[in-house]
Amino acid sequence: MEYFTLYNGVKIPKVGFGTYKVIDQSAQGIVETALSVGYRHLDTARMYMNEKEVGAGMAASGIARKDIFLTTKVWRDDLSYDATMASVENSLKDLQTDYLDLCLLHWPMPETDREKWQEKDLSAWRALEKLYKEKVIRSIGVSNFLPHHLMPLMKEAEITPMVNQLEYHPGYCQAHAVHYSQQQGLLVEAWSPLGRTRVLEDPLVLEMAENTAKHLQDQSGAGLDNHIASPKSDP
């Protein structure tokens, strides 16, 4: 497993298993399978309505909690201090854990009182800051925040977000949002990096993949030939 290191020193696995739409009776088994094949980063959210299943899958997997990096998110209906505190409390209960490795504000714009979005974002962020200081959450961040959403939050925040989770895949790279986040010290985390599988059917991507595979095969073959042809230095 390879990791990125957040600015507070927390290590986050480079590859995570997203659980969006993992909601039917097989959800627990899917999470168990993901962990059994090597995933150690699970990403869920209150809005996904599957935290109980994710928690059950973790518990049944036999993998120690300390070896799993667990992310969840606060939905846009809960962008206030009290509602965010309640959201995290409910997440902890459903996930059968007493701490989160990463918690994100899921969207910058609330469903209601949209003209007060800056005030609501900051109020929710204050709750995450408190929980971070209390070590209930090891790292805090945002999701789907563009530069004009980040600027007012970071101006007032006591603790800078550590992560900005953005939709990012071939064909939709959000270069300005990515660069701005990185300039501010945030790790940019891609959601839907395969474009919900659409990327796997894109002709240009397929052509590039075939050319890359052929190149790697040629390189591997050349390396093998060179190895066979070289004299042995040791018995």
Residue 91: closest CA among 58, 26, 45: 45
Mean pLDDT of 146-166: 98
Instruction: State the pLDDT confidence band at 230, using cuts at 50, 70 and 90.
Output: very low
Q: Of the ranges 120-124, 153-157, 205-209, which one carries the lowest mean pLDDT score? A: 205-209
Mean pLDDT of 196-211: 82
Residue 168: closest CA among 153, 187, 189: 189
**Pairwise CA distance, residues 114 & 120, whole Å:** 9
Percent of the chain residues topping a pLDDT of 90: 78
Instruction: Look at strands 41-43 and 69-74 and give their pairing.
Output: parallel
Answer yes or no: are the C-beta atoms of 40 and 68 closer than 8 Å: yes
What pLDDT is recorded for position 197?
Answer: 73
* 92, burial (CB in 10 Å: exposed 0-12, middle 13-18, buried 19+): buried
Mean pLDDT of 158-175: 93
What pLDDT is recorded for position 131?
Answer: 98
Instruction: State the pLDDT confidence band at 222, using cuts at 50, 70 and 90.
Output: low
pLDDT of 233 higher than 70: no
Among candidate residues 39, 48, 132, 168, the one labeled active-site is 48
Q: Which CATH number is 3-194's, of 3.20.20.100, 3.40.50.2020, 3.60.21.10, 2.40.37.10?
A: 3.20.20.100
pLDDT of 193 higher than 90: no
**Pairwise CA distance, residues 160 & 185, whole Å:** 9
What pLDDT is recorded for position 201?
Answer: 83
Q: Of the ranges 34-48, 142-156, 185-199, which one carries the lowest mean pLDDT score? A: 185-199
Instruction: State the pLDDT confidence band at 67, using cuts at 50, 70 and 90.
Output: very high
The set of residues, in sequence order, having a beta carbon less than 8 Å from that of 150 and lying 6+ positions away, is 142, 161, 164, 180, 181, 184, 186
Q: Is 48 a catalytic residue?
A: yes
What pLDDT is recorded for position 223?
Answer: 55
What secondary structure letter does DSSP report for 57? H
pLDDT of 232 higher than 60: no
Mean pLDDT of 49-61: 97
Quickly count: other Cβ atoms within 10 Å of residue 214's Cβ.
10
Helix 81-95 crosses helix 117-133 at what angle (to 10 degrees)? Answer: 50
Q: How far apart are the first and last CA of the chain?
A: 35
Cα–Cα–Cα angle for 24, 98, 65, nearest 5°?
70
Helix (H, G, I), strand (E, B) or coil at 75: coil
**Pairwise CA distance, residues 10 & 213, whole Å:** 34
Mean pLDDT of 152-167: 97
